[in-house]
Chain A
Amino acid sequence: MKQTETDTAVLDQRLAAWDRKELLNGCQAVAQGVRLADVDVISAYPIRPYTEVMDALSKLIADGKLDAEYIIADSEHSQFEIVKHASSVGARAFAGSSGTGWMYGFEALVVTATDRLPPLFLVGNRALDDPGAFGVEHNDAMALRDMGWLLCWATTAQEALEHVLIGYRVAEDSRVRMPMALAMDGAFLTHSQHMVQVPTEEAVARFLPRYDLGPRRLHPDNPISIAPQVNEDWVMELRRQNWEAARRAKGVIVQAYQEFNEIFGERYATPFFSEFMTDDAETVLIGVGAVAMPARTAVRRLREQGRKVGYIGLRWFRPFPTEELRECLSRFRAVGVLDRNFAHGSPDCGGIVLHDVRSCLYPLASRPAVVNFIGGLGGRDISIADCTRMLEITGKAAERAGDEETVTWIGLRE
C-alpha cells in the first residue's frame, strides 16, 4: 500500500523519538529512564541487586547529566519516607530496594499508597532472608499486592527504561495518584546487558507531563493538613477511594500505552500482558519477569514439533487485568501458572500468581484446567528444559485425568 504523506510524517516523528543505542544493564536502563523523567529527588541506600541503579544515578548527577537532590539515607525506612515527603511537596521522586531491605522500609511503602502519593520505586527482586541469598524471588515486590500500589514487571532492559516513563505517567495521573513499583528479576535483568534504545528528551516531554499534585500539594500557599487521625470514623471511605483509584488505573494504563505507541512506535500490542505464539494454542504457560526468555524458547521448540503451546508474560500484577486475562485464558484448554514466589499455607500451598489467575477464571462457565509451578526460588535458574516440562505437565492437565497435582516444584533438589 502506498504511504500517504501523513503516514510518513508519523513515521519520521517516531524515528526522531529515539536518540541512540547503548549497551545497558537493567539498572542502568532504569537510571536513563529516571534521567529522562527529570526526577527531582532521589534517595539511596545500598542493597544488592537494585543498588546499581543508584550507582548509575549518582554518576549521572556527578557528571551534570541529571539535576536532582541525591540523599544517602540511613535506612530503607528513611529512604522511602524521604521520597514520600518529597513527593508531597510536589517533587518527582525515585527510590528502590531489594529483598529484606524492601521489607525493612515496608511501613513507609504502605503509607505512601494511603497518602495517595506517586513516587516510583525500583524493586530488584531478591530472596528474603534467612538465610542470606542474592538471587531473585518475587516475594519482596509481591508483598505490595494488597497495599494500593501499581506493580509491574519488566522483562528486558528496554522495557525497564520505558516503564519508568509509563510508570510516572500512570502513577501521577490525577485519576490515579498511586505509588508505582517497577520490579525486575535480580541478576537476570538488573545485571544483564542489552542494547537499549534511549529516547530523546523532546519525545519524553511529549509523553510525560510535569508532575502536578494540584490542590493536594503541601505548601505555605496551600495550608492543608494531610493524614490527620481519623480513628474509627473515616477509614472505610478512604479505603474506598483507594479502591476506586485502583479501578480507574486500568483505563489510564491503557491510555498511556496508546500514547506511548503513538509517540515511540508500536512497541506494545497489549498493555497488561504479552502473548507469545498463543494464536491457536491449547496449552499455555503464564509467568512473571525474566523467565519469559527460556519459556519463549521452549515454546518455539515445541511449536517446531507441532505442539500447540504458547507463553503469556504477565506484566501488570496491580491493578490485576481481570477481564482482559479472563478473556485471553478462556481460549485455552490448560493454563500452567509459574510462580517465582511462595505463599506458604495458602490454598493448595500454591504461589501468589496462581491464586489471582484462578480467581479471575472462576466466573467462566467453561474454565481451562489450571496447574501451578513453583520454581526459580532464590535465584535458581529456570531452564528451557524446565519450561518444556512445565508445558508438558500443563498439557496433560488439559485431559483432566483427575490425578494431576495442582502444584509442582520445578528444579527442586530431591
Chain B
Amino acid sequence: MSTGLPVIKYDKIKGVKNTPHEEFYTSGHRTCQGCESAMVMRQFAKASGPRTIATGSTGCMYVANTSYQTTPWIIPWMHTQLGAGGASAVGMAAGLRALMRKGKLPEEKINVINFSGDLGGGDMGLSGVSGALQSDYDLLIIMYDNESAANTDIQATGLTTYGAQTTFTPPGQKHRIMARRWKKNVAGMLAVGHPTCRYVATASATYPALDFLNKVRKALAIGGPTFIHTFDPCPKGWDFHPRYSHELGELGIKSGIFPLFEVIDGKVIYSYDPRKKGRVPVREYLEKQGRFAHLVDEDVDYIQQMVDKMWEEWEVPGVAPFRGNLNSAQK
C-alpha cells in the first residue's frame, strides 16, 4: 500500500479472545443503556478498521449517536439524509475511485460503509440501496433494524413486527392491533433482486458471538456492493429491561422470527439453522416485550403460524417467500 499505513486483514476472527482490541467507535455517543444498534456501530468499525469512511443516515444512530463536539467516531464520518444511505456510499466510492484513477489521490483500499436504520434503509431509502447494489463499487450498507423510528418517539416502520405497539400503532378499545403489516423482508428482497451483488446477510450484533464481525469482514473482502441487515433489540422501543438486549436477539433468532443467513454469490448459508437446531415458540420471544403486552392468544398463534410457514413452506426458508413451484416442478 502506497500510504504505508496499516490495512485491514480479512482473516476470520476465531475465538472471542482474538477480537481486535482497537476501537474506532468509542465514548461520546449518547445511546441508551442496552442499545444493540450501538453494538452494531462499535463492531462494524472494529471489523473494518482505520482505513474506512462511514456515512450515517438520519436515524437514532445519528441523533443519539453523533453529537457535535462529542463524536464517538475515530474513523472519518459524515451525516447523510434519511433516504440517502445508498447514494452516499456510491458517491464516496465513486469519488475515491475517480481520484485514485486520475492520480489525484494515492491508490489504496478504503472501505466505504453506510449505515441506515430500518426507516431510512428499508422504507424511504430502499430505492437508493437498490441503486447502490446494482453498482460496481466496493461498498457496504448496514441496515440496523430496531423495528421502529427510534429517535422520533418509536413510530412503526415497514419493518415493525406484526402486532407491536408503537406510537403510530397504539392498541385501543376498538382496534387491539394497529400494526397489521407483516415485517418487510429487506435482505431477502435485495438478494433476490440484485443478481450481481455478491454478498447479502442478516446478523445480530451479539449472537452468535463474532458472527457479525466476521460478516462485515466477509462483505468487505468479497468486493462490490454488499448489504447486511442487523436485528437490534431496543429496550426503549420494545419495552424491556436493558439487561436483556442480547437475550432477546438470541430468542428472536432461535424462535425463527428473524432468520440468520448469508447469500454469497447466490448461495444461501444459514448462520443459525432452526430446521436443524429446532425453534423455540415465538411466544417466548414476544412475552418478554411490553410492546406485545396487548396481544391475546389468537394473535400469538397467528404470528407463530406465519413463522412456521416461513420455515416450512417457503421455497428458500427464511429468505424468499416463493412457494411450491420448484417442488412441484421436481415432482
B122 within 8 Å of A (CB atoms) = no
Cα distance, A78 to B89, chains bound together (Å): 10
**How far, in whole Å, are A87 and B91 apart by their CA atoms in the complex?**
8
Q: How many A-B residue pairs have CB under 8 A?
A: 158
Is A228 a contact partner of B68 (Cβ separation < 8 A)?
Answer: yes
Q: B99 — which chain A residues lie within 8 A by C-beta?
A: 40, 89-91
Chain A residues with a Cβ closer than 8 Å to the other chain, count: 46
Of the candidate stretches B102-110, B171-179, B192-200, the one touching chain A is B102-110
CB within 8 Å for A85 and B127 given contacts A78-B87, A218-B76, A234-B68: no
Contacts A40-B99, A78-B128 known; A225 to B81 CB distance under 8 Å?
no
Residues of chain A within 8 A of B104, CB atoms compared: 40, 90, 210
User: Nearest A residue to B78 by beta-carbon distance?
Assistant: A226
A88 to B121, CA, bound (A): 21
List, in ascending order, chain A residues with CB within 8 A of B3's CB: 221
- CB of A73 within 8 A of CB of B78, answer no
Given A225-B71, A228-B79, A74 and B127 contact (CB-CB distance below 8 Å): yes
A residues 70-128 in Cβ contact with B at 8 Å: 71, 73-75, 77-79, 81-91, 93, 107-108, 111
Which chain A positions have C-beta within 8 A of B92?
A: 85-86, 88-89, 218
Does chain A have a CB within 8 A of B19?
no
Q: In the assembly, what is the distance between CA of A77 and CA of B135, in Å?
A: 17
Output the least CB separation between A321 and chain B (Å): 32
Residue of B52, B67, B98 near A68 (CB, 8 A) is: B98
Query: Given A91-B94, A228-B67, do A220 and B131 touch, yes or no (CB 8 Å)?
Result: no
Q: Mark A135-161, 1 if CB is under 8 A from B, else 0.
A: 000000000000000000000000000
Q: Across the interface, name the chain B residue whose C-beta is closest to A218.
A: B76
Q: Report Cα–Cα, A40/B94, bound state, in Å.
A: 8
Interface residues of B (CB under 8 A from A): 3, 5, 50-53, 55, 62-63, 66-69, 71, 73-81, 83-84, 86-92, 94-99, 101-102, 104-105, 110, 127-128, 130-131, 135
Q: What are 20 contact pairs spanning A and B, CB under 8 A? A: A67-B101, A68-B98, A74-B86, A74-B127, A74-B131, A75-B131, A77-B81, A81-B87, A81-B128, A83-B91, A85-B87, A86-B94, A89-B95, A93-B91, A93-B95, A219-B110, A225-B71, A227-B78, A228-B66, A229-B79
Q: Which 8 A/B pairs are nearest by Cβ-Cβ distance? A: A85-B91, A91-B95, A74-B131, A86-B95, A81-B87, A78-B87, A227-B79, A40-B98
